[in-house]
């Protein structure tokens, strides 16, 4: 898929990965970039940066609320006729393990998992009617491997990949393309003030570089978008010898345990 001439929607577009995707889509010649975020002022600021290159719309959207995502899709369809590419990108990080409160587990579940489900429910009917459409869901390398120091993040990012796989299997022969974005550490608000911990071992990626890898993957219509290519090697090691991989992850846990304990304080 080429972004040029396409109607695109990006959630979490006020900052970080989402902001860089909006800017890159505009630079690539997207016909429309809809910038959605719970931070409407941030969304408007992103839109102001790209309006010279594309048509656009800034929309306030709490992705944990299904009605908000339904309204985002319906407003875009009413304004621009169709949606070619929907990027379900918004996400959060919560440190801790099984002891994390139910409310915090539910919050990260709603944002990191249910938002993808809500988006698919809202946008798939019009895409299926047209016989084409593209879903780009942001997960993390933690969804393919794990996340030392955060059970909620690891679990929700695994679930996000599982849902993306299911979408591709179920709708791939009906014109729907699906990709899932799985970076390690990216220089965003989520990693501000740190070196990315375990996820930063292979270097902190700039959001602009990540956006370039997304454009390449969309062009190839690849399911896995791996801005850090090392992740593929780690995946292969994991599936080749699961017990050995778990042992290595325990050593990483011991190495970074104090760092993540401080995050929880």
Q: Could you tell me where the DSSP H helices lie in 15-172? A: 16-27, 40-50, 66-80, 102-109, 115-130, 151-171
Helix, strand or coil, per DSSP, at residue 105: helix
d(CA 88, CA 90): 6
Q: Helix 242-264 crosses helix 230-240 at what angle (to 10 degrees)?
A: 120
Concerning whether 153 is annotated as a catalytic residue, the answer is: yes
What is the helix (H) or strand (E) element at residue 34, kind and residue range? Answer: strand 32-37
Q: Is residue 172 within 8 Å of 160, Cβ to Cβ?
A: no
Of the listed 153, 171, 234, 260, which one is catalytic? 153
> Which positions are annotated as active-site residues?
153
């Amino acid at each position: 898929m080429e972004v040029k001439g396409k109607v695109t929607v990006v959630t979490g577009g006020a900052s970080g990965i989402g902001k860089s995707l909006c800017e890159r889509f505009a630079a690539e010649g997207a016909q429309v970039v809809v910038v959605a975020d719970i931070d409407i002022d941030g969304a408007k600021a992103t839109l102001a940066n790209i309006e010279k290159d594309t048509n656009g719309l800034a929309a306030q959207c709490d992705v944990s609320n299904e009605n908000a995502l339904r309204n985002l899709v319906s407003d875009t369809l009413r304004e621009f006729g169709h949606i070619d590419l929907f990027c379900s990108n918004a996400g959060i990080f919560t440190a801790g393990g099984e002891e994390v409160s139910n409310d915090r587990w539910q919050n990260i579940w709603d944002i990191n998992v249910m938002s993808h489900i809500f988006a698919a429910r809202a946008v798939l009917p019009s895409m299926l009617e047209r016989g084409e459409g593209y879903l780009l869901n942001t997960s993390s390398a933690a969804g393919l491997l794990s996340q030392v120091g955060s059970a909620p993040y690891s679990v929700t990012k695994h679930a996000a990949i599982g849902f993306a796989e299911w979408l591709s299997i179920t709708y791939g022969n009906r014109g729907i393309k699906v990709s899932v974005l799985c970076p390690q550490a990216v220089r965003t608000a989520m990693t501000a003030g740190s070196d990315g911990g375990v996820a930063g071992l292979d270097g902190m990626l700039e959001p602009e570089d990540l956006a370039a890898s997304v454009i390449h993957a969309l062009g190839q219509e690849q399911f896995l978008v791996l801005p850090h290519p090392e992740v593929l090697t780690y995946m292969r090691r994991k599936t080749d010898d699961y017990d050995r991989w778990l042992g290595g992850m325990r050593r990483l846990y011991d190495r970074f345990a104090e760092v993540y304990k401080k995050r929880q304080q």
